Structure 1
Amino acid sequence: MGDLNLNGSRGYFGDLANPAYDDFWCAYQADRPLNRSNFSLVYRRLIAASILLNHVSDKVAAELWPIVKNGQDRLKKLEPLIKAVSPVALLKLDACRHFSNDLKHVANKLHSFDSRPRKPDYDDPGEHDVFCFFMKYPNKTDSEDLCIAVGDAFHFWRGYYSHEFRL
């Protein structure tokens, strides 16, 4: 038995977001046929990883600015710090936020899915294609591949907790 440290962002990332991403990645990269059963599994794991990784931003912002009570105000202060480290990561974290909020509330953004061949420099080896889940959200001309966005969001927060950079 043990304790989960869900109050701190590091514990939240380590005990919830990181394992959720690992579960997603394993399902997403599994060399299985692209059928309804596997679609549902990958999509559920994508949802869990996205929501939990999105909430890491809230946890980090709350630690950096504990006296700012409004979560939106804290996130506005966090955005330029993330952008200074990686403008691309900010876009991917933003995609996770839009996807997570669209899932929690009335879905009003365009969601679609497809498949793509595996990319040797990104994906695990395999014979079957992988799913792509897309969402179109405000201020973006193209749909965002949410699987890639969740991966980039995970790698950003992993870098933060590995002390590769500071906010």
Structure 2
Amino acid sequence: MNVYDFKVQTVRGEEKSLSDYRGQVLLIVNTATKCGLAPQFKELQRLHETYKDAGLTVLGFPCNQFQNQEPVKNSDMEETCQINFGVTFPLLGKIDVNGPNADPLYKYLKKEASGLFGSGIKWNFTKFLVDAEGRVVKRYSPTTKPLKFEAHIKKLLEQAKSKTLVH
């Protein structure tokens, strides 16, 4: 089992298979537009713009489980992210990341890479880095800024490229 085995909802309520991203390095993030960490959207966007042609996809999953910091509808949230933060990377439908209604993808991510204080997601902007084979390779805390692990992303992109050249 890997990340590509999951299906998620788009902001428009359509089903989206993560197998569509097979062969790409993924950065999966639970987001919230009203969060104090929301300035990270700009760094996520910068990574997206810099490395999308090299095989990186940033996937944002809005979540309203932390102090009601994503209270708006999917369509409004997507517009807010575009206008306020210049986001062009894929934003998917709002999900729960913890509790009985946690999205199956997030149950899997937490199992594969538990955090410092256990498997639960502690706050918005917890980040999971997934290699081009669909394996979770690293979990980053909400306060770790995305550009801090840019070198790790580049390394995974280089590994993916070298495997493609071999095959």
Pick the structure with more strand per residue. 2
Of structures 1 and 2, the larger Rg is shown by: 1
Pick the structure with more helix per residue. 1
Question: Which structure's relative contact order is higher, taking Cα pairs within 8 Å and 6+ residues apart?
Answer: 2
